[in-house]
Amino acid sequence: MNLSLTLNRYFRRSGLLCRIRFGVRIPNRVIPSLWDQTTPLLRDSLKTHIQPNIRVLEMGTGQSALLLCWLAGAYPQHGLTLLGAEINPHFAENARIVAASNLAPVEIIESDLFSRIDGQFNIIFMNPPYVPKDHPAAPKEGTAPLDTTWDGGTEGTDVIDDFLGAAHEYLTNDGLVLLGVNRFYVPSEETEKLIAANGYTVRQTVEKPGNQSVVYVLGFAGK
């Protein structure tokens, strides 16, 4: 493996770096999820749209619930209701440990997308698995339980499509979906086709020079 890529992944799994960049403490017994280029862009998007007393859902919160714990620490007076959904039971338990260690009022639910989610939310955000199975940079197949963190199906869009197809049912009338995608794996035109096909409008895109990821801030046309 390329040395630069190896070092990059090492530092993005560093508990110390999570503390420095996100203000979230990762207990030694928990290996932090591999945060990627999309994570800081989602954080920037959340900063713009967070308001007091709203309900926020992260779909696929991983084993550190990093952005939910960051929200709890960054906006302690906002009265936020923070919920994370995670399909992997081991990841979900680790996320609970991280939240408790940070005294973060974050609820974690084991759920396959929205299968166990109730109610409506002002913000639903996701950094989905979007790596095509046959992509040269894809991890070796069968690395379960980690497959759920990267495997986006043949084109990298399976989970994105399923997520968008259901998310609008859980949005408040003025609610927003924040969808992060790395264009190295899924071209913008493919993501934008799915966005339109599922009835959303793009309110804003969040990008940074040198970062191949983009966050789409979406409203639902029927809301």
Cis peptide before 145 (omega within 30 of 0): yes
What one-character-per-residue DSSP string does 123-136 give? EEEE----B-TT-T
**Contacts for 90-96: CB closer than 8 Å, 24+ residues apart:** 90/63, 90/145, 91/33, 91/61, 91/62, 91/63, 91/145, 91/148, 92/61, 92/63, 94/30, 94/31, 94/63, 94/64, 95/61, 95/62, 95/63, 95/64, 95/65
Distance CA 21, CA 197 (A): 36
CA distance linking residue 41 with residue 181, whole number of Å: 10
CA max distance for the chain: 48
Residue 66 pLDDT greater than 60, yes or no: yes
Q: What is the pLDDT of residue 223?
A: 64
Task: State both tokens at 140.
Answer: 């070796």
| Predicted TM-score (pTM) of this structure | 0.86
Q: Which residues pair with 214 in a beta bridge?
A: 181
Q: What is the pLDDT of residue 8?
A: 46
Tokens representing 215 are: 């966050």
pLDDT reported for residue 41: 96
pLDDT confidence tier of residue 144, bands split at 50, 70 and 90: very low
Q: Please name each of the domains of the chain with its CATH number.
A: 36-220 (3.40.50.150)
pLDDT, tens digit (0-9, with 9 covering 90-100), for 45-59: 999 999 999 999 999
Average pLDDT, the chain: 84
Q: What is the pLDDT of residue 12?
A: 56
Residue 86 and residue 118 in contact, taking contact as beta carbons nearer than 8 Å: no
pLDDT for res 9: 52
Q: Which residues contact 190 (CB under 8 A, 6 or more apart)?
A: 155, 156, 157
